[in-house]
Amino acid sequence: METSIAAFVKERRRMFNLTQVDLAEKSGVGLRFVRELEQGKETLRIDKINQVLALFGHEVGAVPQHLNSSTSQHHNI
């Protein structure tokens, strides 16, 4: 089961009994950023996402895409 970053952050924030304000202050980002992150806004800065995720011992990174077994896709650079 895949979890979105938005759901992960919201779940972890609640797990540690943090408000959005607490999370913003502890991670050094603005409250608006935390709200947009938890709402799943698609155009957020990765460095700021990583600032938030670092509180929970995680970071955004390159991961392999899940390919449908019936279609083989190769990306040439």
* 44 exposure class (CB count in 10 Å sphere: 0-12, 13-18, 19+): middle
What is the pTM assigned to this prediction?
0.78
Question: Residue 76 has what pLDDT?
Answer: 63
> pLDDT in tens for each of the 77 residues of the chain?
457 999 999 999 999 999 999 999 999 999 999 999 999 999 999 999 999 999 999 999 887 877 654 444 555 66
The answer to whether 54 touches 27, Cβ cutoff 8 Å, is yes
User: Is the Cα torsion angle 60, 20, 23, 26 positive or negative in sign?
Assistant: positive
Question: Residue 61 has what pLDDT?
Answer: 87
Measured N-to-C along each axis, helices 31-38 and 5-15 cross at an angle, to the nearest 10 degrees, of 120
